Amino acid sequence: MKRLLLPLACVIVVSLLLGALLAPWLAPHDPTVTDLSNRLLPPSAGHWLGTDHLGRDVLSRLLWGARASFGAVAAILALVLALGCLVGTAAGMAGGMMDAVLMRICDAFMTVPTLVLALFMIGALGTGLTNVVIAIALSHWAWYARLVRGLTLSLRHRDHLAAARIAGLSRFAIIRRHVLPVIAGQLAVLASLDLGHWMLHVAGLSFLGLGLAAPAPEWGIMINDARPFFRTAPMLVVLPGAAILLTVLAFNLLGDALRDRLDPSLHSQAH
């Protein structure tokens, strides 16, 4: 059973990814074309999951919504890893004053609850999906910087790093060739456990109307759009939420399986 989890998680994540990537070809209808004569239809051969209050095809909107969600999470991942590795290795390799200042900045970012911080950032940057991505990344990078710094510190005085320095490698080359590859496994475990968490943040902030603008197909927006029809057509709320749940579940499954494979000692993150 345990050995099957990783392949199972991979299969789900890959099929969701394929659905997102191939949405323009897979989606049976245009996700934004409204058809008021076909409002709130139940599932049928033409519309597998029915239509919404503006006659838009729900399945097509879900598929396109996957694109937005996966895109946002991928961007957050890239930003968090870049910032975390940059600050973490800089603090860990430099030490001293630089280390102290960078870690105090991390402390400031870790003092505020992540979603509250993200809301504030969106207030400072303005609404829109790009700013939602930046806000979520800025409210999470400090944990990664901390981890990378700790791992870098533990590597700094190893013999092979000293040898690399004597051999004349630049600091940057040492970090790239001898530090990052060593800590990549731990980073992958932490990040895979956070992917679902970020996806929930993206969905929540979109639901609040802070992400993409209304007609765009996105899961959080679909739930917000369907609110007035919630009692008569609950499936319009249930389906996008189920899509979020399935995706987050698959990410968490992947994270757990990766942790078991790569790092049995690392316990689940509490945030």
Judged by the rule CB under 8 A, the positions of this chain that interact with other proteins are: 104-105, 107-108, 111-127, 196, 200, 203-204, 207-210, 223, 230-231, 234, 237-238, 240-241, 244-245, 248-249, 252-253, 267-268, 270-271
Q: Minimum CB separation from other proteins for residue 165, in Å?
A: 34
Closest distance to other proteins from the beta carbon of 142 (Å)? 12
- Whichever of 155 and 203 has its CB closer to other proteins, that residue is 203
Residue pair 52/237 in contact by the 8 Å Cβ criterion: no
Rank residues 37 and 268 by Cβ distance to other proteins and give the closer one: 268
Q: Which is nearer to other proteins, 189 or 244 (CB)?
A: 244
CB neighbour class for 219 (10 Å; exposed up to 12, middle 13-18, buried from 19): buried
CB of 2 to other proteins, least distance (A): 12
Task: Single out the residue of 262, 259, 251, 253 nearest to residue 17, CA to CA.
Answer: 251
Q: What span, in angstroms and rounded, lies between the C-alpha atoms of 33 and 10?
A: 33
CB atoms within 10 A of CB 244: 23
Q: How far is the CB of 214 from other proteins (least distance, A)?
A: 14
In this structure, are residues 27 and 60 in contact, taking their beta carbons and an 8 Å threshold? yes
d(CA 83, CA 145): 7
> In terms of CB distance, is 11 or 116 closer to other proteins?
116
Min dist. Cβ of residue 5 to other proteins (A)? 11
Q: CB-wise, 89 or 131, nearer to other proteins? A: 131
* CA pair distance 107, 191, nearest whole angstrom: 20
